[in-house]
Chains A and B, each alone.
Chain A
């Protein structure tokens, strides 16, 4: 954890402004991502947290141009990576960024690795395509990568097929693939969700170590607040396609301002709540094509007032620098409720 790095002003590696991703069919428009802003600075770990279906994975896929189109479409916003706009780029120009400057690790390592190629072949591909190394060096580099991600006897693993590895080893191989060209940013989409808790801890510490060793930024997508508290420098909480709260990880987790973040934390079991009934958020996540008017969380919100039904709340800065999309919690007057 890199708390004190927070204070120094740092170069912004990735900035996303007002990103909107819609899924359209003849009858309805599902607004999966509905105006999302976030940024990742050099060397920091940023977590994007939210329930499944809130649009976190879609945002990540959209910024690399990996959305299936149609039905998905990017309806607006800007994605800047080290200064240049990624959304303007065509497929070919994106290929230079993908894998080389931004590495991606997916959730399900078994299905994300191609079953008919060896691990070695799959790790070697980005090296061959982006760095155009000679074959002899590629092999050396692959061995080094496998060693870096903690796979033992890398010589044999190079020739193994994905189904011959364990879940944890597969995810390590995925990470090796993402690391291959020394990217500036790694986007990890729930990389530990499919793994056992013990393996999860190993993978998390591995990522942490690699991040410092290579001075990378990490955008880590998860639904697990436990993971957030372990690795995040800063955190963005998403609900129904919008960011509802953001700030440095520890303050947000210790003192959440948005009712949704609070509800999420309340529904986690911990030692203090022992013996008491665990809280659960009433209702369910709204269908992305039929979101309520006003604040998207208001039907489930214990603090909702009438105004929440009509006005979409803007981001409100709290005294300690935390930011949340809840004027009620911030004690604002109705007149301040314009969109930020």
Chain B
């Protein structure tokens, strides 16, 4: 068997499985998952109406004015035509009907729902953006640099800086400022050439400062444990109640309190990826750490993060609605789905649409995110994929 004969034989056109790119493969599996597809369609619709709603309800003379009070037109059912003849032309609803009715102040519920859609969308995405960013950072640190040890001096500087910052915010201006200055001075000194030279000939009494203490991984994961000790809704409620009412505070607080899951995923994923051959190969080729992380590891770790982010948007929207319902968060004239429902609960038997329209809207949007996220999970999970 000479190479020629085999290669000629091999040259016969050979039918092979069709080659697909990763995205085509993904899309092929995704289309089959009807629930996930439905989730995506609803989400696209929700996204569109939130953006359109934002355009139509903002500005000086919006097409739909969510804050326009028409006291003579209160609690009109959905699809009602305006009755009062005293309405000024600019107070009449677009299309001559109240699509979703009006509330107890005669405000157009459709306009308020549009405004609320934008709130839900931004809260969901910004909060999850924050939590995913923190989660990837913390999880990545713990997973990649986890076995490094922290020196005592580093801990001390951090403690001094933190204490200074908290004293400053708590009102002890002078002592706080002093500690901050001290901490920064120490930092700059230690990275200055003079400091580095000094470090090698440290007097025996100060040598304990360079002692290794904790591992990075221990520090971060214990911190995660600490965060998990707080019941999350209770914690969010407490912090939101203490801070001045604003939608940005809600986003930040939800983001800051929900990153633990992502951090754990990313850490676990990084720990297993770090042992894989292609990472060792990249390192053996002299690829830098950052490039290894972002080029080789993050793309492989992204699947579970994507899934948990999608589900996270759903739960952030629910949390925001719950906060609005309890009367915290976005200040009153601004409409959110939660506070439309909360305002409407007093008229639950007289004007059920004030409860059902926002309730159903939240349900549908959250459902779409959950369906989409679970669909993603099924598709991205290689073990489930094999079974198909």
Contact = CB atoms under 8 A, between A and B. Distances in A.
A309 B32 contact: no
A299 B17 contact: no
A280 to B, nearest CB: 10
A289 to B, nearest CB: 7
B21 interface: no
A110 interface: no
B12 A290 contact: no
Interface in B106-128: none
Contacts, number: 44
A291 B17 CA distance: 9
A290 B16 contact: yes
Given A26-B32, A71-B388, A289-B17, A309 B6 contact: no
A289 B10 CA distance: 19
Nearest to B7: A282
Contacts of B15: 286, 290-293
A contacts with B: majority SS: loop
Contacts of A287: 16-17
Interface residues of A, number: 22
A58 interface: no
B9 A299 contact: yes
A299 B15 CA distance: 9
Given A25-B388, A26-B32, A299 B6 contact: no
Interface residues of B, number: 16
B1 interface: yes
A321 interface: no
A302 B12 contact: no
Interface in B1-15: 1, 5-7, 9-10, 12, 14-15
A302 B1 CA distance: 7
Contacts of B387: 68, 71
Contact of B5 (A25, A71, A283, A302): A302
Nearest to A283: B10
B32 A300 contact: no
Contacts of B17: 287, 289-290
Given A71-B388, A302-B1, A302-B9, A283 B14 contact: yes
B9 A304 contact: yes
A337 B233 CA distance: 75
B139 to A, nearest CB: 30
A298 interface: yes
A41 B86 CA distance: 100
A335 B274 CA distance: 61
Interface of B: 1, 5-7, 9-10, 12, 14-18, 28, 32, 387-388
Given A290-B18, A292-B12, A302-B9, 7 more contacts: A25-B388, A282-B6, A286-B16, A290-B16, A292-B15, A300-B9, A302-B6
Interface of A: 25-27, 68, 71, 279, 282-283, 286-287, 289-293, 298-302, 304, 309
